[in-house]
Structure 1
Amino acid sequence: MSLLFRPRRSAASLLILSALLAGCGGKEDAEQKGGGRAGQPGQGTPEVGFVVARPSSAALTTELAGRTSAFESSDVRPQVSGIIRRRFFTEGALVRQGQPLYEIDPRVYRAAVNEAQANLQSARANAEATRIQADRYRPLAEIEAVSKQEYTNAVAQARQASASVAQTNAQLATARVNLGFTTVPAPITGRIGRSLFTVGALVSASQADPLAQIQRLDPMFVDIQQSANDMLSLRRSLSQNGLVPTRAVVRLKLGDGGTYPQTGSVEFSEAVVDPSTGTVTLRARFPNPQGLLLPGMFVRASFAQAINTRAFLVPQSAVTRDPQGAATIMVIGDGNKVVQRKVAAERTQDQYWVVTSGLNDGDRIIVQGLGKVRPNQTVKPVPADTPQQVAPPKQGQGGKDGAGGKGGSGGGAG
């Protein structure tokens, strides 16, 4: 009988011994993972990385819709009537100011010039004859060889002949001007569009349609519409809240979603509010050397109208939102305790939130390790991005190959 029960007692002893060994091993592992034995000072205090809040300058950026318009635009119109004989330009080409574009039949106007020249010669001859006659009557009137009335009439005729010379001279100048109008020049330098009249068409100075249109596309204007209420709020804020005006540098976003490579500047703001839309027009000027901007395009313009000199630039990772959408941050208060703050963060600038209220100069903002802290919890603060220090294993810890547990860390929160 004793031989039969001996194996059962041995098996029970082995089970009890295994349980004891497992408990000892778990305790040792727990001590190693905790960075030391239970009850050591500092156990359970998480490390967090922080940055110090300092006032900075943040641009008050606005994005508005706009439409492009040509820097200069001019209609090519005839100033005399006649038949178009020739066209000197290629549609869509770049033309220079004064360059001939059309020729209107000049024969009638050349004949008018010739007629005016002949009339001028006749008037000059008549003026010479009447002047000589008046000069001859002068001594005769003094000796009363002719009546004084005859001398007076001769002087008057000489003066009328001289005035006729001036009249015909003016008529000649007018005829020459009209003859010059038969060649229609480019009024400005720019890119000309399609020709609305062909060779052989009859045109007149009083017609409604132009012959063509020229537009100067470099530089280019962008007309931006801004709400009058927003502009009023901005002007009020310029006298308070730390806002200062700035010269706006404008950037454009094109209709296809791309960004225009050139930047522009605001030239002026109209002093009239459109009563139908309640907006004020701002005009920006952009260089357009490659001709990417064309008149009539819709674009999105973003620019800074003012600079807030009392704002704080807070990394976006430090700002969270509550269920109501309010922005909150965690700061390190007295005694290294976590304090939750509500702040005003309505817009971003690059990788930062622009905080306009709720922060003070010198506040320590938690930016690393936010997932392991809660309000009123004591933390161990270190500057953000501090490298983690790994201590060597203590003597007696670890296995035969020396791979023991990590010591206490003095680094930042990753």
Structure 2
Amino acid sequence: MIKRVVASIALSSLLLFSCNKKKEEKEEVSVYPVTTPVMMDTVIDKEFVAQIRSVKNIEVRAQEKGFLEKIYVDEGQYVHQGQVLFQIMPKLYQAELLKAQAEVAQATIELKNASTLANSNIVSKNERSMAKAKLDAANAEANLAQTHLSFTNIKAPFSGIINRLPLKLGSLVDEGDLLTSLSDNNEVYTYFNVSEPEYLNYQMHAADRGSNQISLVMANGDIYPQKGEVQTIEGEFDNETGNIAFRAKFPNPDKLLRNGETGKVRMTLPLKNAMIIPQKATYEIQDQKYVFVVGKDGVARSKNIKVAYELPDVYVVGSGLATGDRILLEGVQKVKDDQKVKVKAQDPKRVLQSLKLKAE
């Protein structure tokens, strides 16, 4: 009997100890660390969708009308400056040149005769002047005919790569018809649009960004090996998008980049007095970011925030928080909205130092 009483007391003690332990653990878990946002200067790497254009890219068009008699190049071929690309049937223009040259010869003879007669006072000096004017007009017509004939041979204005050939041999070409386009890809431009706040940060804090150099992320995700440099910014913002266009130039020694490609430029932008919080202090519902703000009454209330930029392990907050707000650092998946919690404050700077923050 005594043994049963002792065993019962021991069991009761064990259960009481177990309950007290669970209660202590529960109370210990219910104490959550909180911190506040940090206001600091930093830099971010922002990517912008970019269009790639050759520094030199032109349309090659016919300057005369006629049949396309010869095509000397192929699509994708590299050509040199001055190389003949196409020939439009020149016979008509050759005939016009011969006619003009004959008129020059006739006018030359007439001027010679008029000069001889004028020197002998047989005809007036005005007759010689008229003959001289006729020769000048004949020379002008001959030069014009020679120019028209030269236009039947279409040459490359600079070295580059031939693009698509829309016309075939024998096609009837009219003046101004497109024959191909020519691209010099030794250097390329990238055009990309920047928002007004980012433009202002870029312009007003030039010393903080270090240089105008930028990187290019190609369409396959690889980083282009050459660095580019921002050269110009357009003169006005687009009223519909609120953006302004930047232009950067990249060297292209291996001809890897071609006119018409797309990519993303990665540009370093300075941020002054940015509000930074740890990513682990947030949670997401339907693509919206939230934090728990703990008030003076100890009640945790969810608050929607707008994330302006994402850095390693931290967010730059665009709106939704005040500098003195106490945010729940851990336990965001356990705490419920309007739940009263016990908290322990942690130094926000030490919190950030424990993360992989690359800001200064």
Query: Which residue of structure 2 lines up, in the alignment, with residue 87 of structure 1?
Result: 71
Identity of aligned residues (%): 17
Report the Cα offset of residue 169 of structure 1.
1.6
Query: Which residue of structure 2 lines up, in the alignment, with residue 349 of structure 1?
Result: 311
1:72-127: per-residue Cα shift (whole Å, max 9, x none)? Answer: 54332222233333211012323344321112233443343344333323322322
Once residues 215 and 346 of structure 2 are traced to their aligned partners in structure 1, the CA distance between those partners, rounded to angstroms, is 45
Query: Which residue of structure 2 lines up, in the alignment, with residue 314 of structure 1?
Result: 277
Question: Which structure 1 residue ranges, 5 or more long, are not aligned?
Answer: 1-11, 138-149, 388-414
Report the Cα offset of residue 156 of structure 1.
0.6
State whether residues 282 and 290 of structure 2, in contact with CA within 8 Å, keep that contact through their aligned partners in structure 1.
no
Query: Which residue of structure 2 lines up, in the alignment, with residue 57 of structure 1?
Result: 42
State whether residues 78 and 161 of structure 2, in contact with CA within 8 Å, keep that contact through their aligned partners in structure 1.
yes
Query: Which residue of structure 1 lines up, in the alignment, with residue 111 of structure 2?
Result: 127
Question: Which structure 2 residue ranges, 5 or more long, are not aligned?
Answer: 355-360
For 1:188-203, list aligned pairs within 5 A. Answer: 188-203=158-173
State whether residues 54 and 184 of structure 2, in contact with CA within 8 Å, keep that contact through their aligned partners in structure 1.
yes
- State the secondary structure of the residue aligned to 2:178: coil
Q: How many residues align?
A: 330
Report the Cα offset of residue 189 of structure 1.
4.5
- State the secondary structure of the residue aligned to 1:211: strand
Q: In the superposition, relative to structure 1, how do residues 338 and 310 fare at CA in structure 2: closer, same or farther (>3 Å)? A: farther
Query: Which residue of structure 2 lines up, in the alignment, with residue 175 of structure 1?
Result: 145
Normalization by structure 2: what TM-score? Answer: 0.64
- State the secondary structure of the residue aligned to 2:117: helix
- State the secondary structure of the residue aligned to 1:74: strand
Letter in 2 for 1:353: Y
Letter in 2 for 1:163: A
User: Max radius of gyration: which structure?
Assistant: 1
Once residues 322 and 200 of structure 1 are traced to their aligned partners in structure 2, the CA distance between those partners, rounded to angstroms, is 65
Q: In the superposition, relative to structure 1, how do residues 380 and 215 fare at CA in structure 2: closer, same or farther (>3 Å)? A: closer
For 1:34-73, list aligned pairs within 5 A. Answer: 48=33, 53-57=38-42, 72-73=56-57
Once residues 342 and 164 of structure 1 are traced to their aligned partners in structure 2, the CA distance between those partners, rounded to angstroms, is 91
Q: Does 1:359 align with 2:344?
A: no
Once residues 112 and 321 of structure 1 are traced to their aligned partners in structure 2, the CA distance between those partners, rounded to angstroms, is 79
Report the Cα offset of residue 317 of structure 1.
0.8
Once residues 245 and 9 of structure 2 are traced to their aligned partners in structure 1, the CA distance between those partners, rounded to angstroms, is 83
Once residues 280 and 249 of structure 2 are traced to their aligned partners in structure 1, the CA distance between those partners, rounded to angstroms, is 36
Query: Which residue of structure 2 lines up, in the alignment, with residue 142 of structure 1?
Result: none
Query: Which residue of structure 1 lines up, in the alignment, with residue 96 of structure 2?
Result: 112
Report the Cα offset of residue 342 of structure 1.
5.9
State whether residues 99 and 186 of structure 1, in contact with CA within 8 Å, keep that contact through their aligned partners in structure 2.
yes
Once residues 352 and 311 of structure 2 are traced to their aligned partners in structure 1, the CA distance between those partners, rounded to angstroms, is 21
CA RMSD of aligned residues (A): 5.2
State whether residues 249 and 266 of structure 1, in contact with CA within 8 Å, keep that contact through their aligned partners in structure 2.
no
Once residues 210 and 384 of structure 1 are traced to their aligned partners in structure 2, the CA distance between those partners, rounded to angstroms, is 64
State whether residues 88 and 100 of structure 1, in contact with CA within 8 Å, keep that contact through their aligned partners in structure 2.
yes
- Correspondence for 1:327 among 277, 291, 297: 291
- State the secondary structure of the residue aligned to 2:147: helix
Normalization by structure 1: what TM-score? Answer: 0.58
Query: Which residue of structure 2 lines up, in the alignment, with residue 403 of structure 1?
Result: none
Bigger proportion of residues as strand: 2
Once residues 131 and 19 of structure 2 are traced to their aligned partners in structure 1, the CA distance between those partners, rounded to angstroms, is 128
